[in-house]
């Protein structure tokens, strides 16, 4: 069966990613994008966990009550596909799969997958940036050409990446950057500074996750600008879901995953007035 709309959500086997899948299914029927059936790819790096998440979607009592899934007479079908954003081959394989299965393109991609490691040293920085920044960037480079003009790309970033913590030089570097290579150079500079043990002296903070998310926000802005200059109507934004009670926050967040999913889902399905290249929280653009 051909589907009218195609979506992909990364890091979707639990937490915010899982709730994004749920809320796409719940909110799609009333969305202006609704022009028929919706297929959502719930992706995760571990097949067992991904398939377990898919079972949880199919047995979800709220989705059952709302009758939004195809098996209950609704419009949405959810399928699992393996995707590890820290693995180039995995990203390429999923991109090739999407291209083959959906030659006319896809509509929405929400990049949610990320890691948060404990401790701080050069190895932690290397691994965190490899997944959160470079992995997300590779995913964008693979999936953005597949998104139909007028579709949506959403990168889940974080308030941890806000710029007030940095020196004026670093902050201005982020804010003035207009290209992805400029942001990537800043990530490389941070890695080098940590390796040399002088990141604080150079105006950085000693926090791998926070810097990786500043990179995601900056890179999103640069990609959106690039697409605008090409005349693309695809809207590309980053967002913070808020402090959500998930495994990543060790359950310490004040919001539920469903509450955290609202802004990413708005940016995928909602009327956002054509705004692109912005950083959002609480369903509105905020200062980075």
Residues contacting 270, CB < 8 A, separation 6+: 31, 283
Rounded to 10 degrees, what is the CA torsion of 110, 80, 116, 134?
-60
Q: How far is it, in rounded angstroms, from Cα 106 to Cα 6?
A: 5
The reported pLDDT for the residue numbered 148 is 98
The HSE-up count of residue 91 (CA atoms within 13 Å, CB side) is: 18
pLDDT tens for residues 179-238?
A: 999 999 999 999 999 999 999 999 999 999 999 999 999 999 999 999 999 999 999 999
Q: Give the model's pLDDT for residue 242.
A: 76
Q: What share of the chain has pLDDT > 90, as a percent?
A: 91
pTM of the model: 0.95
pLDDT tens, residue by residue, 166-180: 999 999 999 999 999
Spatial CA neighbour of 69 closest among 58, 79, 61, 80: 58
Residue-wise pLDDT tens digits, 79-88: 999 999 999 9
The structure tokens 């990786």 sit at 212
Helix residue ranges per DSSP H, 157-201: 168-176, 180-196
Active site residues: 209
pLDDT digits (tens, 9 = 90+) for 258-284: 899 999 999 999 999 999 999 999 999
Q: Which residues lie below 8 Å from residue 64, measured CB to CB, with a gap of 6+?
A: 72
**Through-space distance between the first and last CA atoms of the chain, rounded to whole angstroms:** 42
**What SS3 string covers 236-265?**
EEEEECCCECCCCCCCCCCECHHHHHHHHH
């Amino acid at each position: 069966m051909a589907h009218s709309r195609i979506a992909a959500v990364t890091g979707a086997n639990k937490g915010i990613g899982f709730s994004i899948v749920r809320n796409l299914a719940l909110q799609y029927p009333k969305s202006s994008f609704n022009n028929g059936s919706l297929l959502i790819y719930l992706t995760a790096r571990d097949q067992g966990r991904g398939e377990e998440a898919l079972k949880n979607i199919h047995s979800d009592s709220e989705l059952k009550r709302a009758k939004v899934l195809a098996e209950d007479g609704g419009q949405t079908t959810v399928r699992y596909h393996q995707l590890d954003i820290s693995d180039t081959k995995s990203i390429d394989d999923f991109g090739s799969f999407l291209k083959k299965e959906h030659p006319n393109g896809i509509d929405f991609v929400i990049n949610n997958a990320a890691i948060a490691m404990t401790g701080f040293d050069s190895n932690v920085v290397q691994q965190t940036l490899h997944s959160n920044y470079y992995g997300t960037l590779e995913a964008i480079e693979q999936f953005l050409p597949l998104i139909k003009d007028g579709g949506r790309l959403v990168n889940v970033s974080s308030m941890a990446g806000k710029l007030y913590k940095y020196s004026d030089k670093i902050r201005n570097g982020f804010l003035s950057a207009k290209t992805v290579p400029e942001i990537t150079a800043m990530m490389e500079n941070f890695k080098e500074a940590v390796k040399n043990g002088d990141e604080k002296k150079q105006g950085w903070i000693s926090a791998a996750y926070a810097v990786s998310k500043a990179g995601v926000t900056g890179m999103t802005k640069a990609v959106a600008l690039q697409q605008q200059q090409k005349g693309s109507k695809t809207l590309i934004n980053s967002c913070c879901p808020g402090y959500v009670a998930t495994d990543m926050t060790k359950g310490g967040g004040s919001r539920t995953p469903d509450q955290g999913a609202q802004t990413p889902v708005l940016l995928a399905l909602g009327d956002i007035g054509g705004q692109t290249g912005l950083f959002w929280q609480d369903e509105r653009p905020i200062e980075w």
